[in-house]
Amino acid sequence: CHLIHYLRLSHHLIVLNYLICTFDKLKSVSSEDINITDAVFDGVEVRVFEPPAKQDGRLKRSVVYIHGGGWALASARTSLYNNLCRIMAESLNAVVVSVEYRLVPEVCFPEQFHDALRATKHFLQPDVLAEYSVDPSRIAISGDSAGGNLAAAVCQQLSKDEHLTIRPKLQALIYPVLQAFDFNTPSYQQNMNMPVLPRYVMINYWIDYFNGNYDLAHSLLINNHTALDVGQALSFRGRLNWTSLLPSSFKKNYKPVVQTTGKAEIVQQIPALLDVRAVPLLAENETLQLQPKTYILTCENDVLRDDGVMYAKRLENAGVEVTLDHFDDCFHGCMIFTIWPTDFSAGVQTRNSYIKWLDENL
């Protein structure tokens, strides 16, 4: 993919997504019990998973799900996410709306956020919920990885919308990516070369999401963009101090990487690095206090582990009821790997725990 990008034959993410979708067509995942339809919610494509109607006419629970893939890869229609959403719909007897937001490089931030927000707000309209026989008081918003980022950002935005009459009851975030402030948290240092999502790949996803320049990657890696002399970052520093937000079992013996002098021009070129719609972990306490009951799943072998743990702690400090579901032997992305040839026990283990929490709380 990097060779393709270098030769300018196409954007490497377009090629990679093409390969993923081509491979995915070799698999077939279907269900006789769940009705799967494609729709458009306020201009945004979605896939809806509906269990059969019960004779007692009771309204159903619902989950708005936002898929991962670095804001650039995968789809609500791939078998991995199709399978996850189908199993959620079956297990919870819930209507699952899987959002097919537009991807990098077709669009960059904030368009993915706007797509997810528009689709969710459309679904939360009383007449739309009635069309799908959904109980307005039993709706969750959820997502994994970059989808967890979008789910958290959308949930924050919805909580501040005074015109909304219906809001999510829960949010459930699966190994979410929540900040681009510090690429040297203990989990980033510990798992910097971990397969699936090494640190340099996550930094490149951020650069692509912000339509930035790859030449900035090294400066981001050593936290030059949030050095002590970068005034724009100063007010956010206290909101992401992992030395106080992480338990000692996660901090281990790692040391903070804080540059005295850095490059303020990075934030000037990419102001979205400090935009809470892109980095929900930097939200102010007043916004966090408005968040619904929250579930956050983290994995030990994941650069993003500490993003989720710090968000859980900040939400808890703000008075939100939080369940942090940590897996010592699991890795980033594992929850969707439940279909041959990538059917891992870690995927089934995390998926079952996630669905169990939803079933008990939604």
Q: Which of 297, 93, 85, 309 is nearest to 190 (CA)?
A: 309
Tokens of 227: 């050095």
Q: What DSSP state is assigned to residue 337? A: -
The SS3 of residue 150 is helix
Catalytic residues: 145, 302, 332
Instruction: Please give the DSSP secondary-structure letter assigned to residue 51.
Output: P
Rg, C-alpha atoms of the chain: 20
Distances (CA, A) of 239 to 20, 191, 283: 37, 23, 8
Whole-angstrom Cα distance, residue 111 to residue 121? 15
Cβ neighbours, 10 Å, residue 53: 11
| Residue 360 one-letter amino acid | E
The dihedrals phi and psi of 359, each to the nearest 5 degrees, come to -65, -35
Enclosing H/E stretch for 92: helix 79-92
Residue with tokens 């970068």, as numbered in its chain? 230
Q: Which residue has the tokens 């030059």?
A: 224
Helix H or strand E segment including 245? helix 242-245
Query: Which residues, other chains included, contact 232 with Cβ-Cβ below 8 Å and sequence gap of 6+?
Result: 264, 267, 268, 271, 274
**Within a 10 A sphere around the Cβ of 81, how many other Cβ atoms?**
25
Taking the mean position of all CA atoms in its chain, how far away is CA 78?
A: 17
Nearest to 294 by CA among 316, 317, 261, 264: 316
Prior bond to 110 cis, omega within 30?
A: yes
